[in-house]
Structure 1
Amino acid sequence: MTTSATTAVGIDIGGTGIKGALVDLADGSLLTDRIKVPTPKGAEPDDVLTAVKSVLETLEVTDASVPLGVAFPAIVKHGRTMSAANVAQTWIGFEAEKFFEDGLGREIHFANDADVAGVAEVRYGAAKDRDGLVMLTTLGTGIGTAMIYNGVLIPNTELGHLHRPGHKKDFEHFAAYSAMERDSLEWDEWSARLQPYYSHLEFLFSPDLFVVGGGVSKHADKFLPLLDLQTEIVPAVHRNNAGIIGAAALALAGEKPGALEGTIEDLASTASS
């Protein structure tokens, strides 16, 4: 498969599935079908690497000349995974970026999954051309967050784990989409749980825009209008593809994840230098 400096592969590793596609970085569209395989039971590093290889082989993009970005559900600092959300505890403190680079025989860019979803929405989605502080939240098994200020990503915010005043468990346990399923909540009951979470974020950070992602964002009309906020809140455009698209976008940014304001040509120049 041929590619150019304006295309890259994005791999999104999650607790239940590993997804990937080739992405056109001019507009964030997928140039191939989205390939998805189940996350191996236990999600140990060697098994996850094997699954990622399977996705790349199916996409026919094993050539190391194609830029590759990988999104992972953990705090990522200097290539190490410092937490483990829905994956094996082995990942905590693990040199994950080097592990994938060695195993795949190519350089990659490795980042937190919610962060890259935020990048996708700023570059190509609901937050495109929006100044100020954008806060993306992904509502799923947990609550992922990304903060982007005037095009610069502030990584690893993990604001789903903010503690609820007067309670032992965090907002993620109380208000993630998984809580709606677990407690058999109606949309209005779930939105009543989301209200204090978004109000708390609004109080702490005074954002200019909330973007709500995750698969449930396709039902945004059922719960977002029920929230009473001063801040505009909109559904994400790319939903479950955001991790793939954002990971691919950061693949060309290399070690400069804040480089969201440059053109595709600028990023291509960075990648080839």
Structure 2
Amino acid sequence: MYVVVDGIRYHLLLDGEGFPMILLHGFTGDSSTWTPFIDKWGRHSRLIAPDIIGHGNTDSPRELKHYHIESMANNLKTILDEVGVHEVDLLGYSMGGRLALTFAMLFPKRVRKLILESTSPGLNTERERELRRMNDAKLAHFIIDKGVESFVDYWEDIPLFQTMKGLPASVQTKIRGARLRNSPQGLSNSLLGMGTGSQPSWWERLDELHNDVLLLTGQEDLKFCKIAEAMSARIKKAKWIVVENTGHAIHVEEPEKFGTIVSDFLSNQL
């Protein structure tokens, strides 16, 4: 299904029945990230998985203003209106988690439960944000200059994804294929508009979240475990689960375990 918002055509994957759940993929991914979980989650949730702007089959406009994370959160609200959904459960991974958190901060009454996998609320200081923006700008230029394939070669080799190198070749090939289908313009602008240095820092407002919140991190992802520990101390109704023998992409490295944890959380069994 496609929905046009602010002149941008968004692709949505729809499946399942029950209380609506929005699924937000990470940087370089798309809605196919969530296809392994459709059979399980579709039994209890109406699944709505958009390709975030600049990814998958959603448009990749040239204008950077469309990629600002708050703009994308506003468009997500309109997408929900278009498909006739008001209150939702919201799951986001990495970049998608930052978008999910932004949406929950801007539209708290539209979120019932919030699930954040390997997610940061942003950076604390303007100096940190400035340095990150400079680094993301270099990567954005790299994508335009060298192309998506060269960037994906680099991206797959960063320390954050080292634990994924032990996955079966078929799984790695599928993930790489999804990454390569993205456009240079879309990925470049996503870094500039939705990068951790560009988004607002939500650290000081985490105590405003009154939803049930589940934080998921991989045991080997020490950076995000530290972030989740600090987040859980500030969020009133937070549960934090560390999944053993996994890194940043828990849903890929331990899909069965990940799928069960999410289902149990939604059914109040955690």
TM-score greater than 0.5 by the shorter chain: no
Q: TM-score, normalised by structure 2?
A: 0.31
More helix by share: 2
Bigger radius of gyration: 1
Q: TM-score, normalised by structure 1?
A: 0.30
